[in-house]
Chain A
Amino acid sequence: MSEFVRPALDWHALAPELTLLGVGAFLTLIDILFAERARAITSALAGLGLLGVLVPIITLASAGVASEPRVMFDGGYVVDGYSLVLKAIFVITGYMVVLLSTNYFAEGDYWENEYYGLLAASMLGMLVMTSARDLITIFIALELLSIPVYLMAAWRKRDLKSNEAGLKYYLVGVVASAVLLYGMSLLFGVSGSTLLSDIGSSADLGSGVDSPAMVTLGVIFVLAGLAFKVSAFPFHTWAPDTYEGAPTPVTAFLSVASKAAGFVALANLVFVGFWDRSDVYQPVFWILAAASMTAGNFMALRQTNIVRLMAYSGVAQAGFLLAPLAVAGESAGVADDALQAIVVYLAIYAAMNLGVFAVIIAVARRTRTGMVESYNGLFRTAPAMAVVMTVFLASLAGVPPAGGWYAKFSIFRALISPGITWGYVLAAVAAVNAVIAVGYYGKIVARMWFEKPWVPETALDEIQEKTPNDMSEVVAAESIVAAETVAAETIVVAESIVKTDAGTSSSLPFALVLALGLSLAATLLFGIVPGTLTHFTEVTLLPTIFTGS
C-alpha cells in the first residue's frame, strides 16, 4: 500500500467556489437561527454575497490566470481564462436572478430563506462545472446545479402547475443524467481513466483511426444526456411546461444559467475529452443544431403564452449555440473560434434573456397573466417598459445595435471559417431561422406599439355593467354610437386600471429596475462595442495533446 499523499490545493484558485460555498452555508445558517425574522434581509444578503464572489474572480484575473492556468488534481480541475470568464458570467447572472426574485418571493408569501440557499448551491455547481476536466467532477457539478433547481421549480407548493413543472423537470433531469452516466461509464471503459485529458489521449479516442461501437455509443449517450440540459430538440419537451409552471425568476435562472452550464459541460467534454472524434460528434451536433433552430422557431410562432414562447425561443437559441460545435473538429483554429463564439453568445444571451424575463415579471405584476395579449398597447400604458422590451426582443432577433447581432455574427463566422460544405449549409439554415425568429419577436413588438391597450376580463365586465343600454334593445343606428362609446370607455377604463394598479412603472421595486437597467446596459454595450466582451473571451480549451505544441 502506498502512502496517501494529499494533493496540492491552490487556495487562491479555489477562492470563488469557497466564497460561494460560504455564502450558501451562511444563508442556510441564518435561516436556521432566525427563521422568519431574517426574511426581510436574506435577499439583500444573498445579493451582497454573490457580488462578494466577484472579488476573488477579479483578483485571479489580475494575477494572470488567463496566461498561466492553475492546474490541480493532475489536470482534473483547471482555473484558466475560459473558466474565469464563465464564472464571472454565472455569478452576475445569479445576482440578476436574486434581483428578479426579491419582490416576487417577498410579495408571494413563499419560503424565502431556503430559496436563496438553494440558489447559491446551484450556482456553486455551475462554478465547479467551468473548471471541471474530469468525468466525476462534471457529473457531481451537474447534479449539484440540477438538484436544487428541481425544488425551486416546484417552489409554489400549493399550485398544481408549479408541482407539475417540478415533477416534469425532475423526471427528465434524472433520466438525462442517467443516460449521461451510462455514456460516461462507456468512455471510462474505453480509456481506463476519468480524466478528460487522458480520455482524449487514449488510443481509441485520441487517434480516431479505429472506431469501436463503444466509443460511438459513449459519445452519443453523453451528448444526448447534456442535450436535455440545454433543451435542444428533440430533448426539449420538458422546457415549455417547466418554464410556464415554475416561478418566473426560477424560469429566468433555468433558461440562462442552467442552460449555459449545460453548454459549458458540452464544451469541456468536446474540446478536452474527445475533440479528435469529430467523425462521431460533428454529425450529431449538426442534426441537433439544425433541428433545434427550426423546430424551436416554428413552435414559438404559435404560442399564446409569453413564457412558453420564450421557452421555444430558448430552444431555437440553443440551436444557434450548438451550431459551432458541428464544425469544431476541423482544425485547432476553428475549434478556438467555435469556443469563443459560444462564450460570446452565452454572455450576450444571458444579458438579453434576463432582460426579457425582467420585463415579463414587471408586466405580470400589473396584469397578473402571461398571455401574449396582455402586451397589447403596452407603449400607451407603460412606455418605458415597451421601449426596453423592444430593445431586448430586437437583440434576441439579432437586430443591431442591440447585442444579439454580434452573438449571431460570431456564430456565423465560426461556421464559415473552416470553409467546408456542411458549415455553409448549417450557416444557411441558421440564416433562414434568424429570419423566421423575427416573425414572433416582431409580433410582440407590433402588439406593444400598434394595438389597443389590453383590458383584463374583469374590467370588461365592469364596462358591461356601466353601459346603460342593453344592446339588443337599441336600434341599429344607435348601436353604432353605443359601440363607439364602449370602445372609448374601454380605453378610459384601461388607462384608469393602469393608473390605479400599483401605479405601474413609476412604483416598480428598486431591485427590478436595477435588473432591467443592468441587462439593458449590458445588451447595448455588447452590441455597440463588442470589444468590451471579446477582450475577455479570447480563450482556448484544447490541451496540448491535440494541438501538438
Chain B
Amino acid sequence: MYVSQFGVLAAVLFAIGVYGILVRRNGILVLMSVELILNSVNINLVAFGALRDTIAGEVFALFVITVAAAEVGVGLAIVLLIYRNRRSVDLSEVDLMKG
C-alpha cells in the first residue's frame, strides 16, 4: 500500500464534499457534505501518521471526530430553528438579506 493512494482518496472525498456544499440546497445535505470533507481530513491524518510513524495523526483525527460531532449538533439546532420558523430547510429560500 502506498500513502499516495490514501492521499488521492482523501482529495477525491474533499472535492466531492466541496461540490456538495456548493450545489446542494438542502440544509441537511450540506451538513453531510461538510462531514465528507472532515472525513477526508481524517484519512489524510491517519495515513500520514502511519507514514511518519507517529501517534499524533491519530490523536488529531480523534479530536476532529469529536469536534465534528459538536459542530454538527449546533448545526442541526440551527437548521431545526429555521425549520420551525419557515417549515422548510431549503437554503435558497433563506435570503432575506442581500447586498
Q: Measuring CB to CB, which residues of chain A are less than 8 angstroms from any residue of chain B?
A: 135-136, 139-140, 143, 147, 150-151, 154, 157-158, 160-161, 163-168, 170-171, 174-175, 177-179, 181-182, 184-186, 188-189, 192-194, 240-241, 244-245, 303, 308
Contacts and interface: CB of A to CB of B under 8 A. Distances in A.
A182 B37 contact: yes
Given A150-B74, A178-B38, A188-B57, A160 B86 contact: yes
Given A136-B59, A189-B44, A241 B79 contact: no
B78 interface: yes
A250 to B, nearest CB: 14
B54 A192 contact: yes
B48 A192 contact: yes
Prevailing SS type, chain B contact patch: helix
Contact of A194 (B51, B56, B99): B56
Nearest to A173: B71
B38 A188 contact: no
Given A182-B37, A193-B54, A241-B97, A139 B78 contact: no
A177 B14 CA distance: 13
A171 B30 contact: yes
- Please name the 3 residue pairs, one residue from A and one from B, whose CB atoms are nearest each other, closest first: A192-B52, A189-B48, A185-B44
Contact of A150 (B54, B67, B78, B94): B78
B82 interface: yes
B56 A174 contact: no
Nearest to B52: A192
Given A139-B63, A185-B44, A151 B77 contact: yes
Interface of B: 7, 10, 14, 17, 21, 27, 30-31, 34, 37-38, 40-41, 44-45, 47-49, 51-52, 54, 56-57, 59-60, 63-64, 67, 70-71, 74-75, 77-79, 81-82, 85-86, 91, 94-99
B82 A182 contact: no
A232 B57 CA distance: 30
Contacts, number: 123
18 contacts: A135-B60, A136-B63, A143-B67, A147-B70, A160-B85, A160-B86, A170-B74, A170-B78, A175-B21, A175-B37, A182-B41, A185-B44, A185-B60, A189-B47, A192-B48, A192-B52, A240-B97, A240-B99
Given A240-B99, A241-B97, A154 B81 contact: yes
A161 B96 contact: yes
B48 to A, nearest CB: 4
B97 A181 contact: no
Contacts of A174: 31, 34, 71, 75
Contacts of A185: 10, 41, 44-45, 48, 60
A308 B99 contact: yes
Contacts of B63: 136, 139-140
Contacts of B49: 188
B39 to A, nearest CB: 10
Nearest to B34: A174
A103 B37 CA distance: 41
Contacts of A164: 82, 94-97
A178 B37 contact: yes
B76 to A, nearest CB: 10
A140 B17 CA distance: 22
B67 A139 contact: yes
A170 B31 CA distance: 10
Most chain B beta-carbon contacts within 10 A, residue among A135, A140, A189, A241: A189
Contact of B82 (A167, A177, A186, A240): A167
A63 B22 CA distance: 51
Nearest to A150: B74
A61 to B, nearest CB: 31
Nearest to B77: A151
A448 B63 CA distance: 51
A181 B41 contact: yes
Contacts of A135: 60
Nearest to B22: A175
Contacts of B30: 171
